[in-house]
Amino acid sequence: MANLKEVRVRIASTSSTQQITKAMKLVSATKLRKAQGEIIQMRPYAKKIKAILGSLGGNVSSDVLTPFIEKRAVNKVTFVVVTSDRGLCGGFNANVAKLTVSLLKEKYQAQADAGKVNFICFGKKGFEFFSKSKYNTSVDAVILHQKLSAESTFEIGADIIHSFLKKETDEVVIVYNQFKNAATQILTAETMLPVDVKEIQAHNVEVTKSAGSKKDYIFEPDMNGILTTLIPMTLKTQLYKSVLDSQAAEHGARMVAMDKATDNAGELLKSLRLQYNQARQAAITREISEIVGGAAALA
């Protein structure tokens, strides 16, 4: 049985760790409320701008949409991987990495073998994982909480769209954790480019049914000019929504992880205190036995 000093040291260490995990849980809970509010406000806007694109999609010829919907032979693929900057959030980052690697092996193994897979990493953890792997990492990590904003995300989105239109990449896939609630994150992989025509048409059918008839629009200045602005805006909004989803999901995952860690520390403390009391009782019993034995020897 461990001596009393060793057990006391372990009790003090575990108690200190429990205080840290409890504090981290409270911090994550506070950050979660803010991040949850941001994504809840963002979702209706993202949904509406997508619906507008869907409603216009049924009124335009495919020639106008061709640069964005063109499905080319996939020689180069870009993954936008959204993770966190810090760990201690359970399997949050590992799950994103696993899904990305799984997609690579299932759909893009030939491109990976040829070194034609690039990663745009939002968050240090994703950057660290893929920079150490055999795959080519195209850009540095983007710090989520300290440097990231709507403007900077839109700039990155514009660079991605420009790269696709210049045929520097043939497909763009976003991998992230979608926020459902504090305890649940939905691992998601979405194709950002090329734009899914069927999805646009589905939005158009939904809008038409809700309106009761197909709308005849008057475009000002012209249909092509509107779509040239609207489609990139929709794609950049999709990217920003994914980042906000991931931020809220991260805080939820960390809050749950720290809550479980706090509970585990509590269980460990109970076990250690029981072990300490047993060791202390055994030491006292041994001392009493020695005193009684010494007294008996002198008698």
Give the least confident one: 26-40, 116-130, 203-217: 203-217
The answer to whether residue 263 scores a pLDDT higher than 80 is yes
CA distances from 284 to 4, 273, 297 (A): 12, 16, 20
Tell me which CATH code domain 22-257 carries. Answer: 3.40.1380.10
| HSE-up of residue 156 (Cα within 13 Å, Cβ side) | 29
CA distance 2 to 4: 7
The answer to whether residue 265 scores a pLDDT higher than 90 is yes
Give the least confident one: 152-161, 200-209, 241-250, 260-269: 200-209
Indicate the average pLDDT of the chain: 86
Domain ranges of the chain: 22-257
The answer to whether residue 31 scores a pLDDT higher than 80 is yes
The answer to whether residue 181 scores a pLDDT higher than 70 is yes
CA distance 172 to 72: 12
| Catalytic residue (choose from 7, 77, 89, 235) | 89
Q: For residues 243-247, give the mean pLDDT.
A: 95
Q: For residues 95-118, give the mean pLDDT.
A: 91
Give the least confident one: 166-170, 201-205, 233-237, 240-244: 201-205
The answer to whether residue 23 scores a pLDDT higher than 90 is yes
CA distance 204 to 187: 27
Is residue 89 annotated as part of the catalytic site, yes or no?
Answer: yes
Reported confidence tier of residue 76, pLDDT bands at 50, 70, 90: very high
Q: For residues 96-125, give the mean pLDDT.
A: 91
Q: Which amino acid is at 20?
A: I
Residue spans of beta strands (DSSP E) within the chain: 77-82, 117-122, 171-181, 184-193
The answer to whether residue 211 scores a pLDDT higher than 90 is no
Q: For residues 118-126, give the mean pLDDT.
A: 90
Calculate what percentage of the chain has a pLDDT beyond 70. 86
The answer to whether residue 56 scores a pLDDT higher than 90 is no
